Amino acid sequence: MDIAFLLFDGITPLDAIGPFEILGRLPGAKVKMVAKQKGPVRTRGGSLAMTADYTLAEVSRPDILLVPGGVGADAAAEDTVVTGWVAKAHETTTWTTSVCTGALILGGAGVLKGLKATTHWRAMEDLKRFGAVPVHDRVVRQGKVITAAGVSSGLDMALTLAAEIAGEDIAKAIQLGIEYAPQPPFDAGRIEDAPDERILLARTGLSRP
């Protein structure tokens, strides 16, 4: 079972690493980090790198495709080399998934036309230009396409997918293995409940490294 993670500059690492910790533990999983070129891709500030061991051409028919998000996703959604690869891979995947603004890349590839989908709140309206129907849910499944909202929701999406592939018992064992039992110190993770000043701070004042 080949699982391809699409990497690009400007990635949000947890979008990929969270699901990697879950999907990589599935029986028979072979994880492949894929990008336009082999080598490191970096976060927006350049302080953290992830390594692509495969080029797009080397992984053409993954069983599972996972597209993370980040500030670089907007540009990747307009990159025809990337979106063309995603569109072609999607033709034969068993599951095509995204986390956060990775949904924009799926949208740019034409995967989301006519489908309900979710993404990070800052990009929710952008889904419409790709023909998707934005849904403010944490995980949205439409056939073999599963989209997850912002960053941390990738864990929920990956557990949902793990249960579909290997059954609930395996998924629950993986959840126990990574001790995913969230108890956040604040109830502040939904834009619907956030005051304007906090939204402004989140948009403009907290750049990732």
Amino acid in the structure at residue 122: R
51 occurs within a structural domain:
yes
53 occurs within a structural domain:
yes
Instruction: List helix spans (H) across the chain.
Output: 13-23, 73-76, 80-90, 102-108, 153-166, 168-177, 196-204
Q: Report if pTM > 0.85.
A: yes
Instruction: Please check whether residue 64 is in contact with residue 161, taking contact to mean a CB–CB distance below 8 angstroms.
Output: yes
Instruction: Indicate which CATH number applies to the domain containing 90.
Output: 3.40.50.880
163 occurs within a structural domain:
yes
Catalytic positions, written as ranges: 100
188 occurs within a structural domain:
no
203 occurs within a structural domain:
no
89 occurs within a structural domain:
yes
Tally of domains in the chain: 1
26 occurs within a structural domain:
yes
Range of the domain at 39: 2-182
Predicted confidence at residue 128, as pLDDT, reads 96
Predicted confidence at residue 208, as pLDDT, reads 64
Predicted confidence at residue 204, as pLDDT, reads 85
Residue 10, Cα to own-chain centre: how many angstroms?
Answer: 13
Predicted confidence at residue 207, as pLDDT, reads 64
Predicted confidence at residue 37, as pLDDT, reads 97
Which two tokens mark 17?
């690493």
195 occurs within a structural domain:
no
pLDDT (tens digit, 0 to 9) for every residue of the chain, 209 residues total? 999 999 999 999 999 999 999 999 999 999 999 999 999 999 988 999 999 999 999 999 999 999 999 999 999 999 999 999 999 999 999 999 999 999 999 999 999 999 999 999 999 999 999 999 999 999 999 999 999 999 999 999 999 999 999 999 999 999 999 999 999 999 999 999 999 999 999 988 676 66
CA distance 171 to 149: 20
